[in-house]
């Protein structure tokens, strides 16, 4: 019953997009959607989509497609979205503050229940309705708020140390917003998201496109204006 652990990582990474597009389709009144259509919305190959859904044991109807509400229910369930996942934001600098003020988290099932820092001039201040607490109290805070998910937004040099602390205090999922990778025990799930990383990747591609346009390292393409 339910998703078995043969769901590939690549598949998992696509599920949130399938979910979002299924929600959109359901809201738009489409009761059913074909793999071709949904794949187009998400930007993947239809065969990939069908295989992904099959790996979650989500079945469609031949000749018809997938039931949108069923998709929302099943994908949401696979992602664990039938429960809330309260989070703590650790590091209330520029970035932590921005994340604390971002209402999108709460709206999508990840309410921010506490803000934590260790700088005396920050602890005790109020940010988006929450009083910033001290990192030293983290274990009690996690207990009190039933939080197992942390968003790490410290300065990079403190990231590993704070991550160790969080794991010791009972965090089992860590979303790392710092510029550096952090290590943690196998039992802790860690993902890293970094704005600058994404932009750097974009600039790589942009630069490559520019070189290609100038013909650097690319076979010269002859204009073939006759037939």
DSSP letter for each residue of 86-118: -EEEE--SHHHHHHHH-THHHHTT--EEEEEE-
Subset of 48-77 contacting a copy of itself (CB under 8 A): none
- Piece of 41-49, 68-76, 148-156, 187-195 that binds DNA (CB under 7 A): 41-49
How is residue 197 written in tokens? 């990383």
Sequence-ordered list of residues with C-beta below 8 angstroms from that of 137, at least 6 positions apart, any chain: 116
Question: With the CA atoms of 87, 90, 94 and 97 taken in that order, what torsion angle do they form, in degrees rounded to the nearest 10?
Answer: 40
What phi and psi values does residue 139 have, to the nearest 5 degrees?
-60, -45
- 224 makes contact, choosing from a copy of itself, DNA, none, with CB < 5 to 8 Å by partner type, with none
> Which residue's CB is nearer to DNA, number 35 or number 118?
35
> Which residue's CB is nearer to DNA, number 98 or number 193?
193
For residue 114, the cross-strand partners are 88
Subset of 94-153 contacting a copy of itself (CB under 8 A): 94-95, 97-99, 101-105, 108-110, 148-149
Establish if 53 lies at the interface with DNA (CB under 7 A). yes
Establish if 181 lies at the interface with DNA (CB under 7 A). no
Residues at the interface with DNA (CB under 7 A): 8-11, 33-36, 44-48, 50-51, 53-54, 59-66
């Amino acid at each position: 019953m339910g998703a078995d652990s043969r769901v590939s990582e690549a598949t998992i990474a696509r599920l949130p997009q399938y979910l979002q597009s299924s929600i959109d389709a359901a809201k738009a009144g489409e009761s059913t959607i074909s793999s071709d259509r949904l794949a187009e919305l998400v930007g993947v190959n239809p065969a990939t989509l069908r295989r992904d859904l099959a790996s979650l044991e989500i079945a469609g109807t031949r000749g018809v497609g997938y039931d949108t509400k069923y998709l929302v229910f099943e994908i949401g369930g696979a992602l664990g979205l039938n429960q809330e996942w309260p989070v703590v934001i650790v590091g209330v600098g520029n970035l932590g503050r921005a994340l604390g003020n971002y209402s999108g988290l709460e709206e999508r099932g990840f309410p921010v229940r506490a803000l934590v820092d260790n700088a005396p001039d920050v602890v005790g201040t109020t940010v988006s309705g929450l009083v910033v607490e001290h990192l030293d109290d983290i274990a009690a805070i996690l207990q009190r708020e039933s939080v197992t998910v942390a968003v790490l937004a410290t300065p990079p040099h403190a990231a590993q140390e704070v991550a160790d602390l969080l794991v010791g205090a009972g965090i089992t999922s860590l979303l790392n917003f710092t510029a550096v990778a952090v290590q943690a025990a196998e039992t802790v799930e860690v993902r890293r998201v970094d704005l600058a990383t994404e932009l750097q990747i974009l600039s790589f591609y942009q630069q490559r496109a520019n070189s290609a346009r100038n013909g650097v390292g690319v076979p010269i393409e002859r204009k073939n204006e006759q037939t």
